Structures are given as structure tokens and as C-alpha cells.
Amino acid sequence: MLSLAGYADHVVAAGVLHDVLENTDTDAVELEHRFGAGVSALVRAVSEDPAIEDARARKSALRSQVACGSMEAGAIFAADKVSKSRELRLKLSCGLPDDEAEQQLGHYWESLSMLDAVLGACHPLLEQLRFELETLDTLPPA
């Protein structure tokens, strides 16, 4: 998505690696050593703070962090939310509980609002995210 939207290779690389700090034993030092300071900074900009235990507070802090970051970080975050929205549609078709889906959807809608200010409402990734979220909102309950 990032490549198709015209972003540079380092942004695409950071998009591919965006979850590596959250989901692996890799730390920021190793990430920077392997991929450079620019990629590492972008990945850190879109990574949750593991010290925040409450999931909603952690997601809120992440949105604030991205809002204060670069437009490139905002684009990575937006592409991730497009992907996660599509994944949520699949999970719903497989019986994901409504309360879990509602929590995720709430985060995605709040992310869209924040990203509108960061990237502008007409950004192609946000147009795609808006489409995905509106599609999810029209699905019948599981």
C-alpha cells in the first residue's frame, strides 16, 4: 500500500517492519543497526509503549504518539489500519465476538480522526481506510 501510494523505500521498509518491536525480541538498537536510523525511527514512532498495561490507554497513547510524529509515520499507521480493518472483516466472518470487534473498530475510527489531521482527509490511504470502516459498519451482526 505504501509503495503504491508513492512512499520512498525506507518508508515501505518501516511499514513491513512496523510490528517487529512489539512482536519479537528485536530491540531498537538492533533494528537501527540492521536497517538504519530512518527506518528505526519510523518503526519506533508507530510502536506501542509496552509499559502501558491497559490496552485502551496503550492504543490512545499510540494515537497521540503518531499524531505528534511525521507524515511518514502517519502513513505507515494508516496503511496498518487499512490492513487491520480488512483482517477484522475476515475475523468477523469467522465468529469474532462483537465486543472485541467493537473495541477494535472504535480504535480504528479514532485513528482515522487523528490521521485526518495528520495526513489530510483526501489522502489516498485515508480514503481507503474510511471505505473499509464504512464497509464494516454496514455488515450485519454475527
Which CATH number fits the domain that encloses residue 23?
Answer: 1.10.3210.10
Query: 23 lies in a domain?
Result: yes
Domain that holds residue 42: 9-137
Domain count, the chain: 1
Query: 16 lies in a domain?
Result: yes
For the residues 111-137, what does the mean pLDDT come to?
94
Query: 77 lies in a domain?
Result: yes
> Any long-range contacts for 99-103 (C-beta under 8 Å, 24+ apart)?
101/142, 103/55, 103/56
Query: 2 lies in a domain?
Result: no
* pLDDT at residue 141, rounded to an integer: 58
For the residues 38-54, what does the mean pLDDT come to?
97
Query: 1 lies in a domain?
Result: no
* pLDDT at residue 32, rounded to an integer: 97
